[in-house]
Structure 1
Amino acid sequence: MAEISQDTPRKRGLIEQLDLDMRLIGMIGALVLIALAFNIATGGNFLSPRNIFNLTIQTVSVAIMATGMVFVIVTRNIDLSVGALLAICSAMMAMTQARWLPEALGLDLGSPLIAPITVFVGLAVGTLIGAVNGWLIGYQAIPAFIVTLGGFLIWRYAGWYLTSGQTIAPLDQTFLLFGGAEGTLGEFWSWIVGLALAIAALWAIWSARRSKLAHDFPVKPLAAELALAGLAVAAILGFVAILNAYAIPRGKLRRIFEAQGLELPDGYVAGHGLPFSVLILIVVAVAMTLMARKTRLGRYIFATGGNPDAAELSGINTRMLTVKVFALMGFLCGLSAVVASARLQSHANDIGTLDELRVIAAAVIGGTALAGGSGTIYGAILGALIMQSLASGMGMVGVDSPLQNIVVGAVLVFAVWIDIQYRKRWGKP
């Protein structure tokens, strides 16, 4: 019998050849099954352009925060205060545009300075509170659970006192564009952005393949790469087509035309297109992914999560790294507050309630390991979409709110169990 040389390359299995992310495939499969099940249960309404548009803009604020929660959990920490941070940022922005700027500077709603100043205030407040959380955790060695649990109680009720328990409305019309319900690109520019995103996806796939070949790393068969590229382009352009198919109500079109001194033509129809809030999420997703994969900060975050002691011995300032991670989390909470309050067109005291649980669940369902060291941005966004799809679908079929929370809790536990089994099966860390 001929001996097998140790130098003979091991034959790679089909899954290894295709380099498939089984967790990602599982999440996409779960999302498809959820969508199909609710679409059947609602008589086709779940996958209607109108519901997909609403589902998309409802997902954005949680998805934005979930991208930051990935970094927090990767570094073996937790942030229970994100919903309360969103609430205090929303309260600060509402008071800025509805009370403080009109009283201090005479800037009434509609002034071109209102929206940028308001957004700056929200982002600055979120970043500052996040940095303070990081300082307490990193430099004062207070456990993240305790610091953020305290923030969970402090910041929501600080917002309540700030607004005297009142709902603050109306908000500036330019500011409301960030919510997505009022601000969209329209059909033409949505196609332009969709084509640009499709080209970017093709370039990313080609660039990754070229880089692997240059370093003699295994690559997928060319047919598999082409199929992946085709699926990516189809998904992007299909999503844009669905949003463009959601027609703007005729009454709203009439108001738009009247504001321009025009008369609405008979039979004129226009689609909503991509919401501005979705564009914000896309920018955040790209920026966070590049940060995780291409920057020193991202490498330090994952190295620290993988082995904090080794990271510190190698020269990484893990305490300052903690401050940066939580400051980034606070910034994203402020950005989510912009989107959430603009979508709701007011600041209410219950804004962001239970968002901390939704955000953590989205990150964990998306594959972020609670033990630290691993996680993906796209996984967290998919996790947020799965969570919102469940909530939206159950609401459409008349499931009571308590039962909805029971289902979400069960899904979270099940997702963690699946993640554990996945790591055992595929040898992931």
Structure 2
Amino acid sequence: MGENNDLGSFTAARQFTTLSIYFSHLSQLNFDKARELVEKERDAEKIGSYRQLLILLPNLIVTERSYIELAFVSVKNKIFLRKDNSLRSMYESLRSEINKIEFAETDNLLLDVVTYLGEHIAARIQLIDLYEKMYALGSSNKPMKCNELITQISGVGQFSVTNDITATIRSSFSLECEILRNLLEALVELQNWQFLSCLTHLHIAHTHLTSWEKSLQSREYWKLGFLKGSQLPALYLWLVKLKSSIVGKFSLYFHHILVQQTTPHDMRVLCSKHNIDHMHRLHSLQRKYDAKSIMLIFSVSGGDDLMTTVGPGYQHPERAIEPLDEYTIMLGYPMKLADKLPTVGKAITDRRTELTTSDRVICCYSPKEQYTYFMSNIDPRITLVVVFDSKKDDRETSICNHISELAAQFRSNRVFANLKLNKKSMIFSNIVMEESPNYNYFAP
């Protein structure tokens, strides 16, 4: 009896060690090492639920490898096409097979592992749904409302199993969710012109991105020479691009407060380091067409709620909140035309539906003032207004096209649209799937 107990303890310890190392490799994207480990262990295991699990674990490697390289989206005519061998169907098939083990298993250690895997796969499918929704928003050039995305990400990754075996993969999964959630929170706060809360979420996302990058530094190099380049996965690089996009907009929306913390020259140097220098583009438009001013106008209405606090910088909680005007000039170059704000505000109010439901540039001429206003909504509450002190109309196609392009650059849509499957990822995904020894298992 004692020998049986010792053998059982030894077997459990070996399983614990093997699975812990497997999940550690998986979290660091060391996919080949993870495959070698489980295949060697599977050859030594002849029967039982543990062997059934070892047979399925290489398939998890295939799905995770495709997922991290954004190979779960195929795009044609700006819609998602789900093929029979889509990553979603692969995850669902894998979860079905794992559930069969879970129902038959009585060993607590393996039961915890298969329970976690079922929850992990379900969470992955939820994230695929979220990224698809983000891409759909990005495919349109209309101003985006991201509150629903935050609600969707907040419910992902709540695992009931929290043992040491799965600690590394859970940590990696949590980092992805926290990065994405904080970036979306930062984007919403930016759209609401909330300085401190936006900055806080950006800092948290940056900290998590740094932690995730450090955990990936020991990952294996791709063996396919023509795929060499950045060794960081496509999903990580896309999240970095999203953060950079938000930081660029942050420097634009809060330019007047940030420039007070440094010299104008240093501010220009800092802005020039962004992927898109929004202030430079704005200046170029103003100079090219000799506009009287280019302004960003913030509205307390137009979002999902009615704003009660707004504005740059930090406000002490005990300081009385001054009543907000319906419209505020966030930024004006080369000057803020405060005397034109009533006219601009009325034009935005009268054309709000048209502004917020399309990406058109709307032209309004005031005969009394003899001023022309070109307007385009860039965020639900923020409107780009280009002011001319002469009569112009919407037949000025060059002006309209330039304003439309500038507004599109100010929005975050293009970063969301970059989630689509690029040619390199498609080649990579197909090779990975074809090389999998259990690839046919994923067929519906």
TM range (shorter): under 0.3
Higher helix share: 1
Larger Rg: 2
| Larger relative contact order (CA 8 Å, sep ≥ 6) | 1
Higher strand share: 2
